[in-house]
Amino acid sequence: MTYHDHPVPKRTLMKSLRTALPLLAAGLAAGLTLAACTVLPNSSTRSLSKWETYDDAHKAFDTIIEGKTTRKDVQFLGFTPDGSTNVKILNYVDVANLFGSAFKPQDLPHGVKTCVASQGDCVGYVVKVTNVNSKRNGNVAADLFGFRKRTHVTGWEFMATVVLVDDVVVYKLWNGTPAIESYEKQNTPLGPFQNLGGAIPKPGF
pLDDT (tens digit per residue) in 133-150: 888 765 555 555 555 677
pLDDT of residue 187: 65
Is 63 within 8 Å of 51 (Cβ atoms)? no
Indicate the pTM of the whole model: 0.65
pLDDT of residue 205: 46
28 against 153, higher pLDDT: 153
Report how far residue 88's alpha carbon sits from residue 106's, in angstroms, rounded to the nearest whole number: 26
Give how far Cα 130 sits from Cα of 63, 77, 167, 180, 201, Å.
Answer: 21, 17, 27, 10, 46
| Rg from Cα positions in the chain | 31
Q: Would you mind telling me the total number of residues written for the chain in this entry?
A: 205
**Phi–psi pair at 48, nearest 5 degrees:** -75, 125
Report how far residue 118's alpha carbon sits from residue 92's, in angstroms, rounded to the nearest whole number: 8
Report how far residue 80's alpha carbon sits from residue 124's, in angstroms, rounded to the nearest whole number: 9
Please give the average per-residue pLDDT across 119-144, as a whole number: 80
pLDDT of residue 181: 84
Confidence of residue 165 (pLDDT cuts 50, 70, 90): very high
pLDDT of residue 36: 47
